[in-house]
Structure formats: structure tokens, C-alpha cells
Structure 1
Amino acid sequence: MPGPELRPPQPKRRLKPAERRSQIVDAAVAFFAEVGLEGRTRDLSARLGIGQSLLYKYFESKEALIEAVFERVYLDRLRPEWRDWLCDRTVPLRTRMLRFYTAYTEAIFTYEWMRIFMFSGLAKAKLNARYLAHLHAAFLEPMRLEIAAASDAHAAVEMEDIWNLHGGIVYIGIRRFVYQTPTPPDVGPAIERAIDRFLSDVVSVTGPSHPR
């Protein structure tokens, strides 16, 4: 009985420049999440099956590649409409905060986000500081102002209180992806409890924006 017909190997499709660049960034995200920002571009090129010279055709330096990773993992996941959600006073404050943190954790609770963020901090890279500054200006400061506006007598709300709430929620992801300790499969109830404790402890919300 004749064996199966053997077909000649198909030539690899030549990627367009934009596709090749995106492929390199995707591979770099996975690579740096695994080995840290000290990982060598030579090893990354080997994983991709390309020469290091081709990688540097698209990124003039390792720093430029890390910058592209930063944009892909961090900035591209932040949605401008989240600020609109936080500032929509036709919706109860508790609902706005819960909607924001549900979307935010869905975006960042990934292996790549958490590990690159921790590696960046350990390497004293400037990525974390830039990200946190952007997060503060785009979302956390507007949230603070909305909480103050909804509270009795427009009470002062300290930014440190906002960071404590934010850090506690994000720490669930750190435990899951960095420390690899058990966390709730559904983080929604934990986020709800954190927001409720925050609103109860920090401000007394009344009127149309009552948290309940």
C-alpha cells in the first residue's frame, strides 16, 4: 500500500514590517515577563528564530524595545473612557468605582503585567514611575475629587487613602501571578468589600451619590 503523499514544505510567509514589529513586541513581552528586564536581546532573537540584526532593524536599542513593551503592556490597556465612568455623577459613586476597578483588574491581572511591573521595580527602571504618574493623573486624582465632591461638606480626601485602596486591590494580582499563592477565582466580591470599607472608613456619602 502506498504511503501518504508527501508534500513539499511550504515557504514561510514573509511578514510585513508592521506585522514583524508586532511579533517582536509580543515575544518581548513574554520574554521579559519570564526572565526580567535584564534578559538579553540575543536570547530573545533566538526564541524568535531571527537574527539579532533583524531585531535591531526594528528597534535601535534594547531601551527602545522595552519602551514598546511598556506601551503594549501598560499604556495600551488603559481606556480613556474609564475616566468618564468615574466622573459621571448621574451614577452612584459606589457603582462608578466598582465599574472602574472591575475593568481595571480585568486589564492588568495577567502574568505579563504583574511580572514585568515587579521586575521593573527591582531593576529600578523608570517605567513604574511613569506608569503610576499617568495612572494618578488620568484616574486616581479624578476619583479622589469625585469622592470628595460626594462626601458630606466636601470633606478632604487624602491621596494616600486612594493609593491604599488601589494597592490593596492590585495586591490580589501580585499574590496570584508573582507569589503564586491562592486568590479568589472571582475577585469581584473582594473588590466590592474593599470599596465598601473605603467609603465607610474615609467618607460619609450622602445624597444622589450614596454608595448603596
Structure 2
Amino acid sequence: MKPTPDQKPTPPARPRRQHMRAADREQAIIEEAVRFFAEHGFEGQTRELAKRMGITHSAIYRYIPSKEALIERVYEHVYLSRWKADWATLVTDRSRPLEARLTQFYLEYVEQVFDYHWVRIFAFSGLKSFDITSRYLAIVRDEIILPACAELRVELKLPTTGEIPVGEREAELFWGLHGRIFYLAIRRYVYGTTTPEDLGPIVRDAVRAFRAGVAPVLKDILAQGES
């Protein structure tokens, strides 16, 4: 029976995938898990994932031993694979002003992470206390935030981080910049609100405003001995 005009045709079930190599089958499971968790969160059941793929539930566990292991593979596939090793070098390249370095980093960063699956899995992870969020933010802190704090000290001719260690208030200045830019992704992919299509000018404005206003604040923090 054909659907009436006000009915949507029922999409055909996905055909079972046969005769795939083990590595290809495993990769297909991971890629579908990324889409599945982005839509349903980590409460989504692997049984539903298997049904969605047109395979048996037990087939998933022939390739990946547990749901926790599957989530770990999703983390590697979505997050670690998009982190560029040269970003840490970029932030510490003193041949260029820090504003230029931060601008380039965030322009490249939004290209990598402003993605439906990336952002929604990140949000679901934080809500369900999976360590994807905390592990990823530790990378951001160690490779971007803390090095940038040290570089700003050098540029402003302030005591080095060896003389006065970076404290919470100082680090939060840079987390504020990071959060300002990432919040655009939350608005777009979690809240579903309108955000600028071209993020380049927004990133440049954010970094420029940060660099223009951060110096007196940082100097006061260090003078008060509360970095």
C-alpha cells in the first residue's frame, strides 16, 4: 500500500552486512556507535545499536568486548584522532605574537571540533560522568592553557611560571577564552540555536578582545600573589 500524501514512507531496514573483513566490521561498529551515542547519549543500549546496524547483538561483542570498551574506541575515534600534535608547538612558537598564535590555534580548533557528533558526545559524557570529558580537557589544559599562560608571562615581561607557578585565577583567564569560543558549538549542536556560519571573524574578535584586556588583570593577580 502506498503512503497517503500526509504520511512519510517507512525507511527500509538496513540490510545485514555480510562477508566484511574483521577490521572493516569493527570500524563500521565504531562509526555507527558515534552516530548512535551522539543521538541517544550513553544510555543508549548496544542492543539497539545492533538492531540499527542490522546485525545481532552478540556480533558487536565479538569485535569489542564491552560497552565501556566501545565508548573508549569512540573517544579515540572522535577526540584523539582530531587533536593535532603540532598545536602545542604552535602555542609556544615565540617567533610570532601570542595573539597570532592563539588565533591560528582556535581557527584550526573550530574546524576540528565544531561537529554534531563531537559536541553532543562531549556533552553527554559530562552529564553521565564518563571520563571522556575530563580526559580531553586535561589535554587542553596541559598542551594549550598552561603553555599559553607561560607565553603570556614572557610577552608581558612578568615573572616566569618557574618563579610564580600558575594558579587557578590565572588559568581561568584562558579557560574563559576557550569557553567563549566553544560555547558557540554548544549553542549550535546542543541548544539548536542560530550561530554565525562564518566563525573566523568571531574567533579573531574573541582572541583580540582577550589579548587587549588580559594584561592589567594578570598583573593584578600576580601582584596579589593569588595566581
Q: Same fold (TM over 0.5)?
A: yes
Q: CA deviation at 1:130?
A: 1.1
1:55: Cα distance to partner?
Answer: 0.4
1:148 equivalent in structure 2: 153
Is residue 124 of structure 1 aligned with residue 124 of structure 2? no
Q: Which letter maps to 2:77?
A: R
| Cα separation, 2, equivalents of 1:91 and 1:129 | 31
Counterpart in the other structure of 2:102: 97
Q: In structure 1, which of residues 157, 160, 178 is the aligned counterpart of residue 190 of structure 2? A: 178
1:192 Cα offset (Å): 0.9
1:44 maps onto 2:49 in alignment? yes
Range that drifts further, 124-133 or 56-65: 124-133
Contact 2:103 2:207 survives alignment (8 Å): yes
Task: Say whether residues 1:200 and 2:212 are aligned partners.
Answer: yes
CA distance in 2, matches of 1:116, 1:15: 27
Task: State how far apart, in whole Å, the 2-side matches of 1:114 and 1:12 are.
Answer: 29
Count of matched residue positions in the alignment of Structure 1 and Structure 2: 194
TM-score (norm 1): 0.86
Q: Is the 8 A contact 2:42 2:125 kept in 1?
A: yes
TM (norm. structure 2) is 0.81
Aligned to 1:69: 74
Q: In the alignment, what sits opposite 2:33? A: 28
Amino acid at match of 2:140: L
| Preserved contact between residue 31 and residue 44 of structure 1 (Cα < 8 Å) | yes
CA distance in structure 2 between the aligned counterparts of 1:113 and 1:139, rounded to whole angstroms: 19
Which of structures 1 and 2 has the larger relative contact order (alpha carbons within 8 angstroms, sep 6+)? 1
Cα drift, residue 93 of structure 1: 1.5
Residues in 1 aligned to 2:77 and 2:101: alpha-carbon distance in whole angstroms: 26
C-alpha deviation, 1:197, in angstroms: 1.1
What CA distance in whole angstroms lies between the structure 2 residues aligned with 1:18 and 1:142? Answer: 38
What letter corresponds to residue 165 of structure 1 in structure 2? L
**Could you list the runs of 5+ residues in structure 1 that have no partner in the other structure?**
1-10, 205-212
Which of 115-124 and 27-36 deviates more?
115-124
- What displacement does 1:87 show? 1.2
- Aligned AA for 1:188? G
Deviation at 1:145, TM superposition (A): 1.3
- Once residues 42 and 190 of structure 1 are traced to their aligned partners in structure 2, the CA distance between those partners, rounded to angstroms, is 42
Instruction: State whether residues 152 and 203 of structure 1, in contact with CA within 8 Å, keep that contact through their aligned partners in structure 2.
Output: no
Q: 2: CA distance between counterparts of 1:154 and 1:102?
A: 29
Q: d(CA) in 2 for partners of 1:12 and 1:70? A: 25
* Counterparts of 1:22 and 1:67, CA distance in 2: 13
Q: Distance in 1 between matches of 2:82 and 2:150?
A: 23
Deviations 1:144-186 (A, max 9, x none): 2112211143587710101011001000011011111111101
Deviates more, 1:123-132 or 1:150-159: 150-159
Structure 2 segments unaligned to the other structure (5+ residues): 1-15, 217-227
* One of 46, 50, 65 as aligned partner of 1:60: 65
